[in-house]
Structure 1
Amino acid sequence: MKFGFDIDDTLINLREHAFQIYNRKLNKNISLDVFNALTTMGIHEAFGLTREEGGKLWTSLRDDIYYSDCAPFPHAREILHELVKQGHEVYYITARAKEHTERTRDWLVQNGFPVVEGHFYCGMSDTEKVHIIEALKLDYYFDDKPNVLETLSQLPVKAYVKDRCYNQHLDLPRITSWDQLWEELKL
């Protein structure tokens, strides 16, 4: 079978990692309770920033956010390794900007994710992401982003949402922790 995975906030806890970096850089001490109560993907509002100010801050800190010690969600790496061990194909499909392609792939490898040549896609819009998912003829796809998941309903792929505070409105099967994947898929 073919499995596709988004990276940010699906396999790795990127928004929380960025939230902690914002706290340090802005000399704030905003609690994770505030983070967990956010109903949007953006974290800027928790710091009293406008969308534009938040975008500028994210851009200025992007290397720290993307390429430092962002933690994978528990069991994410192990599950992907087990899928590969069982003979399944694992694909990574991320909408990170194209200029981050090589560094993102290298970061995944350095952090123990199983990355096979030709199974990594980066640098596309959400619409293009859906086209890649369709072209690959994935059996399963996992993402956190409502805009992507809502457009997959017309495809034969079985979509799962990685449970996050901003995607509670989605009526799709949920992965709240990666160790539940075996039970969900009955592999």
Structure 2
Amino acid sequence: MYSKEPLKIYVDFDDCLCETALSFVEIASRLFGKNVPYEELHSFNLQESFSLNDEEYAELMKEGHRPEILLSYEETPGASRVLNELIDEGHEVFVITGRPFAAYEASKQWLEEHDLSRPKLFFLNKYGRDFFYKGGEFNLELEDYYKMHFDYAVEDSPMAFGFFDHLPDLNVLVFDRPWNSKAEFPGANYHRCTDWDIIRDWIRKGGIK
């Protein structure tokens, strides 16, 4: 046994909790005949990865955010098991997603169906999307987000790394994905993790006094 202090943990939703990009591979193939293997998604920008024009990209995003599609996303192996273990150990988990707020109901339902009803869910406009709605109870305005403190963050998108600049002591656990395989990490506090068991071990190490 080891003594632990409570930690605050930021967790991204897509491609950390669920296999979103795998579904977009299928959608791009089905809608546009774009057959790009998952392993070749070397850009987080899906418009670039699938070589889509603006109209196609808008259609891709609309399809990928339909409630029935969101609910069909497969869980990333170990996500619910590890997060529930950490919560049981006294840590606090916040799911902070860049999804549009219109996806709230389906996102909340997905979490409940995957035994992840205890983490707090917030929507933060990480990517400047036009269809991100403001003013909702579960939306985070940037000024409110920057007042929050986290000890660990689990994130896959290099485009989101800038949201951690205000937390110099934060340990960022980068979930290993093709689109971040060549990313330059901003500092020594960034650590590449290939699965949720490794993430759990990093966080537990941080909880030891």
Where on the TM-score scale, by shorter chain, does this alignment land: which range? 0.7 to 0.9
Q: By percentage of residues, which structure has more helix? A: 1
Show the counterpart of 1:137.
Answer: 149
The 3-state SS of whatever aligns with 1:173 is: strand
Contact 2:16 2:155 in 1 (8 A): yes
How far did 1:170 drift? 3.1
1:170 aligns with 2:184: yes
Q: How high is the TM-score relative to the length of structure 2?
A: 0.74
Could you tell me which of 153, 159, 165 is aligned with 2:172? 159
How far did 1:23 drift? 2.1
Distance in 2, Cα, partners of 1:67 & 1:151 = 25
Contact 1:129 1:148 in 2 (8 A): no
Do the aligned partners of residues 159 and 131 (structure 1) sit closer, same or farther apart at CA in structure 2, a change above 3 Å counting? Answer: farther
1:82 aligns with 2:85: yes
Distance in 1, Cα, partners of 2:163 & 2:71 = 32
Identity %: 24
AA in 2 matched with 1:21: I
Q: How high is the TM-score relative to the length of structure 1?
A: 0.82
1:22 aligns with 2:35: no
AA in 2 matched with 1:67: L
AA in 1 matched with 2:125: S
Do the aligned partners of residues 159 and 46 (structure 1) sit closer, same or farther apart at CA in structure 2, a change above 3 Å counting? Answer: closer
Aligned ranges 1:9-88 → 2 under 5 Å: 9-26=15-32, 28=33, 30=35, 32=37, 35-45=38-48, 47-63=50-66, 66-88=69-91
Contact 1:19 1:43 in 2 (8 A): no
1:111 aligns with 2:118: no
Contact 1:105 1:115 in 2 (8 A): no
Deviations 1:64-83 (A, max 9, x none): 67423211111111100101
Aligned residue pairs, count: 181
Do the aligned partners of residues 164 and 51 (structure 1) sit closer, same or farther apart at CA in structure 2, a change above 3 Å counting? Answer: farther
What's the Cα RMSD here?
2.6
How far did 1:18 drift? 1.6
Contact 1:130 1:151 in 2 (8 A): no
Contact 1:14 1:66 in 2 (8 A): no
Show the counterpart of 1:182.
Answer: 200
The 3-state SS of whatever aligns with 1:136 is: coil
Distance in 1, Cα, partners of 2:160 & 2:115 = 26
